[in-house]
Amino acid sequence: MSRWGAAMSEALAAARDAGAAGDVPVGAVVLGRDGAVLATAGNRRERDADPTAHAEVLALRAAARALGRWRLDDCTLVVTLEPCTMCAGALVAARVGTLVFGAFDPRAGAVASLFDVVRDPRLNHRPQVVSGIMVGPCSAVLDGFFADRR
């Protein structure tokens, strides 16, 4: 298992919980400087009727609350799916040090697929990006969710 495997497994568990509750199964974990888990969240858009309740935003908010500061430059966000434009913007706003994601999102991804918001040289902060971690299970949880709905 890679360096990020344990955190991605936890993000996957949060994704599965979200899917079981009727939300698109995406999960995110924020690791602190020492690698300990600061926050875990799943997508809650349906449950909260909140268009901004993506897993990444919820995990960043919880991690910032835990640390008592908005700046997360010593933190790593681990997420099962490539972030969208909103979440990529939130990562930059939080000054997240490292982003790790699993599956690519060819329809909405804003870190590689459609845009590259987090590495745009015009912005004042650029997280390190590690992609394709546990891409098989990260894709499978989404594919299974949408297959069940058809």
Question: Which positions are catalytic?
Answer: 56
> For Zn ion, which stretch binds (CB under 5 A), given 31-39, 52-60, 116-124, 132-140?
52-60
User: Of 101-130, which residues contact Zn ion (CB under 5 A)?
Assistant: none
Q: At its nearest, how many Å lie between Zn ion and the CB of residue 27?
A: 12
- Convert residues 67-86 into a mask of x (bound to Zn ion by CB under 5 A) and - (unbound): -----------------x-x
Residues making up the chain, counted from first to last: 150
Q: 31-62 as b/e, with b when 16 or more CB fall inside 10 Å?
A: bbeeeebbbbbbbbbeeeeeeebbbbbbbbbb
- In the complex with Zn ion, which residue's Cβ is closer, 6 or 129? 129
Q: How many residues bind Zn ion (CB under 5 A)?
A: 4
Q: At its nearest, how many Å lie between Zn ion and the CB of residue 87?
A: 3
Give which of 140, 142, 81 is closest to 112, Cα–Cα. 81
Tokens representing 14 are 């949060």
- In the complex with Zn ion, which residue's Cβ is closer, 51 or 68? 51
Tokens representing 80 are 């099962």
Binding site for Zn ion (CB under 5 A): 54, 84, 86-87
